[in-house]
Amino acid sequence: MEANMRESKCGTRFVIALAILLFLSVSFTQSRSPEPKADKAKGRFLLVDGQAPPFKSWLEQDVAWIITDEERSAFNLLKNDEERDLFVEAFWSRRDPTPDTYENEFKEEHYRRIVYANAHFAARLPGWKTDRGHIHIVYGPPEKIVSGSASQCGEQFKDDERNSQFASESWCYHYLQGVGMDVVIHFVDVCDCGDYRLTMPPGLKDALLKFSHAEYETLRGPTDPRQYLKPAATPSVRFKDLEAKLNSKLAWHVLPFDVRTDATKATDVTSLVPLTIAFQKRNLPAEGNGSQPVTLNILGRVRTLTGHIAEQFEDTLEFDDSGPSEPILQKTIALLNGRYRIEIAVQKANSDEWGTWVSMLKVGNEP
């Protein structure tokens, strides 16, 4: 009888233990975060590293000084994140001076200016948010910066003399789109705290802050905001062989090279990422006993963890043995904060020598 009681107790303990395991298993499954979802209709992924796209911050920080009133109104009428994602792509596409290439020089320069403003003009506010940051981001650096009287800009700059008990700067531009020729912009530090404010005749100040976006206002409305969701056609890849090698996920090091990456905060949601691709001449002997230069074809792309291509570039690097320095290629791209996979393939022109480089990249302060 004692044996039967022991068997009964053992059976009861087993059932209880099994129930606990099942409960923990169900609880763990329910607590897991859902996987990022793909937009199957377009093959696009709307999420970066599992996070919702930070469209509000993009609108209020990244493009605060360059978006037109019509574009802002259209953006606010969009219904979902898929449309907002398309809007952002089309926004930069409309401003791309070379739409037949992957590089968008306007976008890259815009984020460079934001990073510069943060580094040089920050006071009580982030650099991009100050008056000097605003002007630098929209118009770029002036031809000359002087302290004190605006007459130091030169006789060609038409402006009145002014003396002030406060620290001041005058930025001198030969020409500003939508404003005019020989423009002097005054900034005064009225709080003695490094926060220089615009101070000038109201007409000039209004003209500066109401920067003319005429070259981008090809679409009016925004009765139908969908007209702002049409980016330019994606250019085709020139180096098909390199694209095939990246797609095959093969690692090859007949042609070795090094890649250095960095990241600098631009806004709360975007960082500027410089890439340096470095080669060594001893690994790349020149053609024809050194008489002919070496040509390298380079294809690079940055993928989100869900597989969407966030950025892509291709370039050609040509060099010979006459120069003292090692050959390098430098690229700068702007990326939303998150985690990415960088893939680069290089091939020596007219040869079977090629190499690949793949690495993970963390941008921003994402955990």
Q: List, for residues 308-354, the tens digit of each pLDDT value.
A: 899 999 999 998 777 668 899 999 999 999 999 999 999 998 888 89
Among 20-24, 199-203, 229-233, 360-364, the least confident range: 20-24
For the CA atoms of the chain, what is the radius of gyration?
28
At residue 97, does pLDDT exceed 60?
A: yes
At residue 92, does pLDDT exceed 90?
A: yes
User: What pTM did the predictor assign?
Assistant: 0.80
At residue 107, does pLDDT exceed 50?
A: yes
Q: List, for residues 203-246, the tens digit of each pLDDT value.
A: 888 888 876 554 555 545 556 788 888 887 888 999 999 999 99
CA 151 to chain CA centroid, Å, is 39
At residue 112, does pLDDT exceed 70?
A: yes
- DSSP line for 258-293: EEEE--EE-SSSEEEEEEEEE--GGGSPPBTTTTB-
Q: Is the dihedral of CA 169, 171, 172, 177 positive or negative?
A: negative
Secondary-structure class of domain 240-363 per CATH:
mainly beta
Do 51 and 338 contact (CB within 8 A), yes or no?
yes
Looking at residue 292, its pLDDT comes to 78
What's the pLDDT band for 155 if we cut at 50, 70, 90? Answer: low
Q: List, for residues 38-76, the tens digit of each pLDDT value.
A: 333 333 434 444 454 589 999 999 999 999 888 999 999
- Residue 54 gets the label, from left (phi > 0), alpha (psi -120 to 50) or beta, of beta
Q: What is the dihedral of CA 263, 266, 268, 269, to 10 degrees?
A: -70
Domain boundaries, the chain: 45-216, 240-363
At residue 5, does pLDDT exceed 50?
A: no
Q: Whole-angstrom Cα distance, residue 254 to residue 355?
A: 6
